[in-house]
Amino acid sequence: MRLVVEMTTNNNDSAAIRLSGLTKTYGSGSTAVHALRGVDMTIQRGEVVGLVGPSGSGKSTLLKCLGAVIEPTDGQIELGGESIFDGKTGGWQIKDLRALRRDRIGFIFQAPYLIPFLDVTDNVALLPMLAGVPNNEARLRARELIEALDVGHRAGVRVNMLSGGEQQRVAIARSLVNQPPVILADEPTAPLDSTRALAVMRILNQMAQRYGAAIIVVTHDEKIIPTFKRIYHICDGRTEEEPGEGREIPEETGIKIR
């Protein structure tokens, strides 16, 4: 099967994400909480990295800042070489943050959060339709992705009739359909056993390579941590990078998760 959905960029720099000195403080004075304290991060296109740390360490705050859900206090965020936030020059550099999230950032959550009364194709095609892509093209994109993720045979089935593994694959397809340079995955394997968790990681690595997306996986899941080639540890709002094992996921895991 030939996939025609492709990542495009006007920047030759292979970095999809750059964070420089990112801070986030809640409140002020004696009650201030410093959730992020100068985070630096660089993630390349086609790379899957882990973000790990204890509860309350700043993982969720970092993901929300990167996903343009909350505003950092200071620092810089670049996506694909373009500054989207600069604390020194007035904050957000993008006027329409909803369009930024819709078009340039894909989200995968622990729960799929699909629309239960829509079928598989419509759940995936809805996002590009909202972005103004003609219906036929949006549905073509959706069908190509769900075929690639081995749920094409369920294309016309309402998602509330799918298994949990099938729903997760549909959620992954949805995160990719607008061809975002960045995908943020928040505990995507938490409810899965070892085989299915490794299958999800195999999918994410395959999709990162195929579409050139940079993927950050927030996780506590010890089963998948050995699969990362790079890991960012976060504690008390500060990050430290270390090389991961980059353990190969067995071929027999395939990309099917039932």
Distance CA 223, CA 100 (A): 32
Helix axes 194-211, 164-176, angle to 10 degrees: 20
SS3 state at 90: coil
Distance CA 193, CA 87 (A): 42
The CA-CA-CA angle for residues 184, 187, 192, to 5°, reads 130
pLDDT at position 6: 42
User: What type of residue sits at position 222?
Assistant: E
* pLDDT at 120 exceeding the cut of 80: yes
Look at the alpha carbons of 92, 14, 215, 165 in this order and tell me if their dihedral is positive or negative: positive
> Does the pTM of the predicted model rise above 0.95?
no
Tokens of 212: 């050139």
* pLDDT at 155 exceeding the cut of 80: yes
Beta carbons within 8 Å of 85's beta carbon, 6+ residues apart: 65, 68, 71, 72, 75, 76, 77, 91, 92, 93
DSSP track, 227-253: G-SEEEEEETTEEEEEE---PPPPGGG
In tens, the pLDDT along 40-67 reads: 999 999 999 999 999 889 999 999 999 9
* pLDDT at 249 exceeding the cut of 90: no
With a pLDDT cut of 70, the percent of the chain lying above it is 92
Q: Across the strands, what pairs with 240? A: 233
Tokens of 92: 């957000």
The answer to whether 182 touches 106, Cβ cutoff 8 Å, is yes
pLDDT at position 252: 55
58 vs 9: which has the higher pLDDT: 58
Distance CA 127, CA 109 (A): 16
Range 203-224 average pLDDT: 90
Count of Cβ atoms closer than 10 Å to residue 38 Cβ: 15
CATH fold for domain 15-253 = Rossmann fold (3.40.50)
SS3 state at 128: helix
Burial of residue 99 (CB within 10 Å: 0-12, 13-18, 19+) is middle
The answer to whether 136 touches 127, Cβ cutoff 8 Å, is no
pLDDT at position 255: 45
Q: Give residue 122's pLDDT band: very low, low, confident or very high (50, 70, 90).
A: very high
* pLDDT at 133 exceeding the cut of 70: yes
Q: Give residue 13's pLDDT band: very low, low, confident or very high (50, 70, 90).
A: low
